[in-house]
Structure 1
Amino acid sequence: MSSVEELTELFSKVGFEEPKIKEIVKNKKVSTSLETLLEDAPAGYEWNKSTRNFLHSLASLVKGAEISNIGLVVKGIASEDLKTALQVNAAFKYIKEHGADATTESMNENSGVGIEVTDVEVRASVVKYIEDNKETILHDRYKLVPGIFANIKNLPELKWADPRSFKPIIDEEILKVLGPKDERDLVKKKTKKQTDNKKGKGTTASATGITSDEPKRTMFTEGFLGDLHKVGENPQAFPELMVEHLKATGGKVRTRFPPEPNGYLHIGHSKAIMVNFGYAKHWDGVCYLRFDDTNPEAEAPEYFESIKRMVSWLGFAPWKITYSSNYFDELYNLAEVLINNDRGYVCHCTAQEVKKCRGIKEDGTPGGERSACTHRSNSIEQNLKEFRKMKEGHYQPGEATLRMKMNIESPNPQMWDLVAYRVLNAPHPRTGTKWKIYPTYDFTHCLVDSFENITHSLCTTEFYLSRQSYEWLCDQVHVFRPAQREYGRLNITGTILSKRKIAKLVEEKFVRGWDDPRLFTLEGIRRRGVPPGAILNFINTLGVTTSTTNIQVARFENAVRKYLEDTTPRLMFVLDPIEVIVENVADDFEEVVSIPYRAGTPKFGDRSVPFTKKFYIERSDFSEDASDAEFFRLTPKQDVGLVRVPHTVSFIRLEKDNSGKITKLYVNYNNAPLKEGEKSKKPKTYIQWVPISSKFNSPVRIDETRVYNQLFHSENPSAHEGGFLKDINPDSEVVYKHAVIEHNYHEVIKSAPWVVDSIKESEFYVEEDKTTKETFRFQGMRVGYFTMDKESTDDKIILNRIVSLKDSTSK
C-alpha cells in the first residue's frame, strides 16, 4: 500500500480537492480501494467532478475487498455509461454477485445503461401517482410531499430516471392540485412530552404507501422485507375469501416459523426465525411456531423440545404453537375435495416409473420426454375408492400415492403431478396409529398456511418454484391463498450443516454431541457461549435479500467478538501457568491494586486484586532467549510490567523438573526508591498475572479449559477428495488442564450476564435466563472470550472459549 503522501499526490492528480483527499485517506480500506480502482481506469483519462464522485462511491462500496472484474464498473463510470449513483450501485451489485463470470453487456443490462427516461415520462408518472392518491393528498396536503418523493422514486418505470428531475416536477404538479401553502400547512412544534410519547417503531404505511411520519429504518422496512405487500394486497382467485381473511386477522400481519421436528436447528434457521418472528413483531402482528410433523418416521420428542428452546433463546415467543397434525382431518377432507374436482388421482406407479413419466433419464438427469401417468385418466369414483382404501390400510408403502393432477407439460417441475399423500406404516407422536397415510409437504404447507390465515408465508428461495404449485392447490380446493415470498438463505462456509453429516460426526465421536461448540447447530452455538443478541445483530447487519448469503466462519466470529467486546467484564486468566516467586519481599507481602472490569466503561466498575509474594504468569510470557529482539515480555535480561502493578519485575533465576520443563521463576520486584535525577524505566509491555493468596481464595483453579478452533481445515469440507471427515482439524479442540483465574471470577458469576443500559436499549437485545451457565461470559485478558460449559460444576469448573481476541500478537 502507498504512503499517505503518495496517495495524496495521486488523488490530487485525479482532481480531488484537499478537504476531500483528507477525508479519503483517513479510511485505509476506502483509500486502498480507490488507488486500486484507478489502476483499472483508461490510460490518460481525465476525471470530471461527476465521475470522480462516482469512483469514490464505488471505492466506499468495495472497501478493501478483492472483487473480480470490478474494473468493468470503473470503465463504465469513465465512459459515462453509468450516469447515476443508482446505476453505479446496481453495476457494483452485479459484479459482486457474478465476479469472474461478469460481462460488460450483462452489467449494462442490469444497471439500466442506455435506458433514457425523459422529463415528459417522469411528469406523466408523477401526474398518474398524484391522481391515484388524490384523496389522501387533498386531506394531508404538503406534509406528504417527502413521502411522495420517496414513493415516486420507487416507481418501477422510473427506476433508471435521474432523481434530480423529480422534485421540481413534483412541486409543480402538487402546486396545481393544492395551490400555495396556507395555515393548514404550518408544522406545529411538538413539546418534549409529546415527542417522548411518540417514541416507538415508527409509523406504519397506509394502503397507498404514503405516510406522514418517516418510519424507523430497520431490516424489516428495507430490502426484501421492506418491499413486501401490505395485509390484504395479495390477489385471490376468489375475492370473497379475502373479506373473510381480513375479518379473521383484523388486518394484522400473521407469519409462521414451520420447522420439521426431525433434527436440531442450525445457524441458517436463526435467520428464518428472525425473519418470521421479527417481521410480525415489527408490524405488531403475530407469529406461529408450527411444527411440520408430517413424517413420523423421522420425528422425535427431543427435536420438538430443542426447537422450542432455541426460539425462546433467540428472544421470541410464539403467538401459538401448532402442529400440522392438528389439521390431519381437514387435510384429508380437502384431499377428497381435490379428487371430486377431478384434480387428484391415485397412482400405483413405482418410483422409477414416476421418474420416467417426469422425463428423468436413467442417469438421473432431467430433460427426457414427459408423459402422463397411466392412472391419471381413472374416474373420480375409482380414485375416491382407491384413496379410501389407502386410508384404511389396504396398501403398503410404495404401492399407492395420491397425486395432484397438475400440468405435466409445464416447464416448472413443481407442476409435474406432485404427490399429495403417501402410505406410511408408522405411528405418529401425536396421533398414534389413527392414520396409515400422511400428507406431503407440498400438500400440507400451503393449506395449513391458509387455515391459519397467514398473511406472509416467508421461506427461502429454494422454494421459489413451489410458489406456483402452492397457489394452484389453494385455488383448486377453494381456500384463501396466502402469499408465499422467498428470501435468500444464510450459509456459513468452512463447516457443515447437513443433518446426515453431523450425525456421522456424533456417531463416530469426532464431536461431543449435537451441541458440541464446534458445530453450527444452534444448540452448539449456545453451548459455545455466543449471546443470542450477537446472532440477531449479525443477521441485521447482513440484511435480507433474495440472494443466498454465504458467510465465512471468521466473519461470523468477528461479529460475535464485537458484541462480546461491549458486554463482557475482563479477568486475569492464565491458561498454562508458571509459578513466580518474588524474592525481595516478605512472605506476607500484599499490595492491593484496583483494576477496572472494562477500561473506559465506568458502569462496569472496578475490582480489587492483591499483588503478593507468589503469583502465576502465562508460560509463553517468559523466554530463556534474551537475544530475541522481537520478544517484549520477561527474559533473563528484560523486565516486564504486570497489569496495574506499580513497578516492574526482573528475572533472577528459574527451576526446572527432570524433563527440562520450567516449574518456577524467581524475580525481583523493582520497587526501590529512585535515586535523585533517576527516572523509572517503562517496560516494553504488560502481562496478566494471577495472585496466590489464601486470604483472597486465589487462584480459582479450572479443571478443564477447552479452546475451540475451526472444526475443518477448508472452506468447503464436503469437497475434500477423501470425504469431509478427512478435512477435520485435529486441533479443533485443545484442552488445558491447569488454568488459573483470579478470585473475582466468583463475583462475575453472581452478576452474569453483564449488560450495560446501552445494550439493553438495542432493538435486538435479548434478555437471557440467568440460571443457565452459558450466560456467564468474560474476557480472559490477552487470551480470549470464555463461558462456562454445561458440564461444569462447583467442584469441577469447565470453561469453553467462545472466540479468540481480535488483536492477537506474538510480541
Structure 2
Amino acid sequence: MTSAPSPAPVSNFLRTIIDNDLAQGRYADKRWAGKPGPASVQATGDIDPARIRTRFPPEPNGYLHIGHAKSICLNFGLAHDYQGACHLRFDDTNPEKEEDEYVNAIIDMVEWLGFDWKYGNENNRYFASDYFEYMYTFAQALVQAGLAYVDEQSAEEMRATRGTLTEKGTNSPWRDRPVEESLRLLDEMRDGKHPDGSMALRARIDMGSPNINMRDPVLYRIRHVPHHRTGDRWCIYPMYSWAHPVEDALEGITHSICTLEFEDQRPFYDWILNHLADLGQLQRPLPRQYEFARLNLSYVVTSKRKLLQLVREGYVNGWDDPRLPTLAGLRRRGYTPASIRLFCERLGVSKADSRIDYSLLEQALRDDLDPIAARSVAVLDPIKLVLTNYPEGKTELCHAPRNPHDPEAGQREFPLGRELWIERDDFREEPPKKYFRLFPGNTVRLKYGYIIRCTGCVKDENGNVTEVHAEYLPDTKSGTPGADSVKVKGNITWISTEHAISAEIRLYDRLFSDPHPDSGDKNFLDAINPDSCTIVQGWLEPGTQLTADTPLQFERLGYFIADRKDSTSEKPVLNRSATLKDSWAQKS
C-alpha cells in the first residue's frame, strides 16, 4: 500500500466490529497455509500472521468506477490499519461478459490508487476460477448430505414456483430425487451432456422461507461458453451467491465487506459456510459478512451495463473518456490517487444510503492540487493586445512563483513583448458596471508585468474587435520600486504571441445535466449534457510542463493536465480537470 501519510482513521461501525473481534480473539486460532484451500489444506498451516483478512472482489466485466474506489479504499485501508492482508480477487464466474482486458485494467487502477495485495511474501491476487475444482467438490458434498439437488425445471418454471414476498414458494417436483441420481446428473452437467438451461443444481433449504433468497437458490447453471482463463474446461459455472462465501472461506477472509444490496444474501452466505464446515470441507472460524452503503454520486451513472452502452454507442470515447466516472476516465481527466482517497475518506462509512453531490469529488481534487500544482497561464479565447509604445523587437523577462504555497519551488520566467494574447473577455468597448478590466481609458495590470492604459481597438468590416491597443507605463513593472506608483483595480493574464505554445484544450464538464439521470423510469440518455466537452484552440505560457503526470493550475481558469493518450510535444492536448470554483453551484 502507498506510504503517503494520512490522517488518523475515523472510527466507524466496521472498525468497532474489528476492534471487538480482535479483543475477543475471534480469529486468534485461525490457520493459514500461505495459500487458499479447504480445511485439509489450512490444517497444515501455522496460525495466520495477518490479524484480519479482507478482500476486494471485482467481476472483470468492465472498468472500475468511482463507486469501486470507496470499496478499494475501505478494504485495503482496513487491512493496512490493522496489520492485516487484503486480497484482490477476480470473481470470474460469468464467462459471457468477462475479458482479460478488464482484468488488466482493474489491476492497473488498484495499483494507481496506491494499493497492492502483497502481505509479507504472499502475493494475494486470486481468481474465482482458481477454485472451480474445490467448488465442485463442495457441491458434491452438499448433494451427498441431502442439502442440494439437481432440478430440471426451466428458469421460467423456477421463477413461477419461487413465490413472492407475501406468498410461499412451492417445491420443485425434482426436490426429493435420490442423492445418487442428483450426483450422476451433476457429473453429466459438468461433462457437457446437457444443454444450457435444461438443469441446475439448487440448494435444498426452505421454499417457505420469508427470505426469498433462501428458497432453494441455484448453485450451478449450465453455460456452454468458453472462459477467459479456463477455456472449455467447464460448462457449468457457479452462481455468485454460492461462489462468494466459498471463495472467502478458501482464502481465510475474516471480514467480508459488501454493499447493502447483499444484506438479504447474508443468511445464505452463513448457511453455505456452516454446512460446509460441518461436513469437514472448510475450517473454522468462518468469515463473516458485513454491509455498508455504496457510493451514489449525483450527475453520473455507475451501472456497468449503462457505462458499456455509453461506450459502445459512441456517446463517449472509450472507457477512459474523461467525462466518465471510471477510474481510468478520472485519471485521464487529471484526478490524482490522493484526491480520490481523500474523497472516500471524507465520505466515511455507514449503513445509510445517501446520494453524494459531485461537487464534493471536485473539491477533493482542488484541495489536493492547490498546494502542489504548478502555476501557469493559458488563454482559451484569445484576442491580440498590442502595446503601441513598447519598442518593436524588444522582449524582457517577467517572473512569477511556480507555486505560491511552496517557496522552495522557485520562480518561473516568461517573456513580455510588444504583442500579447489576452482573453477576449478581458476587453469591453462598452463595459458594464463594476467591470475593472480593459476598456478605453482604463488602466489595469498585466499580471507579473506592467500597468497598461487602454487606448482603443481595431475592428473588422463586421464590427468585431480583432485587436486591442494599449500603452504601457514603463516604471510600473511588478517587482520593481515603481510597481505601486499607480493604483489599479484589475489584473489580467497574458502570453507573448511570439513565444506562446499552441494547444488544443478540452473543457470537460459533467456528462449529465440531471443530478439523478437514471432514477425512476428515466432514460439516462435523455439527460446527456450537450456541452460536456468543448474543444478550443488556445495558447499556453512558454515553459509550461506538458506531461500526463504534471497537474497544472492555469491562473483564473482551473486545473488542467496533458491528455495521456492524445497529447504530444508537437501537438499538446490538455484536459480541464476542474474549475477553480464550483460553477454548478452558481447555475442551480
Q: TM-score, normalised by structure 1?
A: 0.65
Cα separation, 1, equivalents of 2:87 and 2:362: 30
Map of 1:797 onto structure 2: 572
Map of 2:36 onto structure 1: none
Cα separation, 1, equivalents of 2:288 and 2:571: 53
Give 1:701's match in structure 2, choosing from 495, 498, 502.
502
Cα separation, 1, equivalents of 2:179 and 2:394: 96
Map of 2:552 onto structure 1: 778
1:482 Cα deviation from its structure 2 partner:
0.8
SS in structure 2 at match of 1:774: coil
1:534 Cα deviation from its structure 2 partner:
0.4
Give 2:395's match in structure 1, choosing from 571, 590, 613.
590
Matched, 1:286 2:85: yes
Map of 2:34 onto structure 1: none
1:452-507 CA-partner distances (Å, limit 9, x unpaired): 11111111111112221111111112223211111111111111111222222223
Matched, 1:642 2:432: no
Cα separation, 2, equivalents of 1:200 and 1:425: 47
Give 2:316's match in structure 1, choosing from 501, 506, 511.
511
Cα separation, 2, equivalents of 1:239 and 1:261: 30
Map of 1:608 onto structure 2: 413
Q: Which aligned pairs between 1:420-569 and structure 2 lie closer than 5 A? A: 420-478=219-277, 479-480=282-283, 481-569=286-374
Give 1:667's match in structure 2, choosing from 470, 487, 492.
470
8 Å CA contact 2:299, 2:512 repeated in 1 = yes
SS in structure 1 at match of 2:433: coil
Q: Which aligned pairs between 1:32-51 and structure 2 lie closer than 5 A? A: none
Which structure dedicates a bigger proportion of its chain to helix? 1
Q: Which aligned pairs between 1:178-327 and structure 2 lie closer than 5 A? A: 217-219=8-10, 221-228=11-18, 229-231=20-22, 244=43, 247-250=46-49, 252-319=51-118, 320-327=124-131
Give 2:513's match in structure 1, choosing from 709, 713, 723.
713
8 Å CA contact 2:386, 2:420 repeated in 1 = yes
Cα separation, 1, equivalents of 2:46 and 2:209: 36
1:250 Cα deviation from its structure 2 partner:
2.6
Change (3 A) 1:524 1:561: same
Change (3 A) 1:217 1:728: same
8 Å CA contact 1:585, 1:613 repeated in 2 = yes
Q: Which amino acid aligns with 2:262?
A: F
SS in structure 2 at match of 1:785: strand
Cα separation, 1, equivalents of 2:376 and 2:507: 17
Cα separation, 2, equivalents of 1:356 and 1:589: 86
Cα separation, 2, equivalents of 1:658 and 1:462: 65
1:225 Cα deviation from its structure 2 partner:
2.6
Cα separation, 1, equivalents of 2:5 and 2:494: 47
Which structure dedicates a bigger proportion of its chain to strand? 2
1:573-630 CA-partner distances (Å, limit 9, x unpaired): 111111111111211333322211122431222111222111111111111114x222
1:644 Cα deviation from its structure 2 partner:
1.6
Cα separation, 2, equivalents of 1:377 and 1:232: 45
Change (3 A) 1:235 1:807: closer
Cα separation, 2, equivalents of 1:226 and 1:523: 33
SS in structure 2 at match of 1:775: coil
1:308-358 CA-partner distances (Å, limit 9, x unpaired): 000000001112211111111111111000001100000111222212222
CA RMSD of aligned residues (A): 2.7
1:440-461 CA-partner distances (Å, limit 9, x unpaired): 1111111111111111111111
Cα separation, 1, equivalents of 2:204 and 2:259: 26
1:158-201 CA-partner distances (Å, limit 9, x unpaired): xxxxxxxxxxxxxxxxxxxxxxxxxxxxxxxxxxxxxxxxx999
1:27-60 CA-partner distances (Å, limit 9, x unpaired): xxxxxxxxxxxxxxxxxxxxxxxxxxxxxxxxxx
Map of 1:724 onto structure 2: 524
Q: Which aligned pairs between 1:351-362 and structure 2 lie closer than 5 A? A: 351-360=155-164
Cα separation, 1, equivalents of 2:361 and 2:389: 48
Q: Which moved more, 1:265-274 or 1:278-287?
A: 278-287
8 Å CA contact 2:371, 2:406 repeated in 1 = no
Change (3 A) 1:260 1:672: closer
SS in structure 2 at match of 1:714: coil
Cα separation, 2, equivalents of 1:245 and 1:408: 39
Change (3 A) 1:639 1:459: same
SS in structure 2 at match of 1:718: coil
8 Å CA contact 1:581, 1:665 repeated in 2 = yes
Q: Which amino acid aligns with 2:472?
A: Y
Cα separation, 1, equivalents of 2:25 and 2:90: 25
1:542-574 CA-partner distances (Å, limit 9, x unpaired): 211222342111121122112111220110111
1:373 Cα deviation from its structure 2 partner:
1.5
Cα separation, 2, equivalents of 1:270 and 1:249: 28
Question: After the TM superposition, which segments of 4 or more aligned residues of structure 1 sit over 6 Å from their partners?
Answer: 199-202, 238-243, 807-810
Give 1:622's match in structure 2, choosing from 413, 424, 427.
427
Cα separation, 1, equivalents of 2:567 and 2:559: 17
SS in structure 2 at match of 1:230: helix
Cα separation, 2, equivalents of 1:414 and 1:233: 31
Change (3 A) 1:807 1:519: closer
Cα separation, 2, equivalents of 1:556 and 1:403: 43
Change (3 A) 1:417 1:377: same
8 Å CA contact 1:231, 1:251 repeated in 2 = no
Map of 1:12 onto structure 2: none
Change (3 A) 1:720 1:239: closer
8 Å CA contact 2:75, 2:257 repeated in 1 = yes
Q: Which aligned pairs between 1:102-113 and structure 2 lie closer than 5 A? A: none
Q: Which aligned pairs between 1:103-182 and structure 2 lie closer than 5 A? A: none
8 Å CA contact 2:379, 2:495 repeated in 1 = yes
SS in structure 1 at match of 2:518: helix
Q: Which runs of 5+ in 1 are unaligned?
A: 1-198, 203-215, 361-365, 674-678, 750-772
SS in structure 2 at match of 1:558: helix
Q: Which amino acid aligns with 1:735?
A: I
Q: Which amino acid aligns with 2:252?
A: N
1:671 Cα deviation from its structure 2 partner:
2.4
Map of 1:143 onto structure 2: none
8 Å CA contact 2:30, 2:47 repeated in 1 = no
Cα separation, 2, equivalents of 1:515 and 1:249: 39
1:234 Cα deviation from its structure 2 partner:
8.2
Give identity over the alignment, percent.
Answer: 36
Q: Which amino acid aligns with 1:718?
A: D
Cα separation, 2, equivalents of 1:413 and 1:201: 46
Change (3 A) 1:245 1:289: farther
Cα separation, 2, equivalents of 1:352 and 1:338: 25
8 Å CA contact 2:386, 2:468 repeated in 1 = yes
1:722 Cα deviation from its structure 2 partner:
6.4
Q: Which amino acid aligns with 1:668?
A: E
Q: Which amino acid aligns with 1:278?
A: G
8 Å CA contact 1:657, 1:663 repeated in 2 = yes
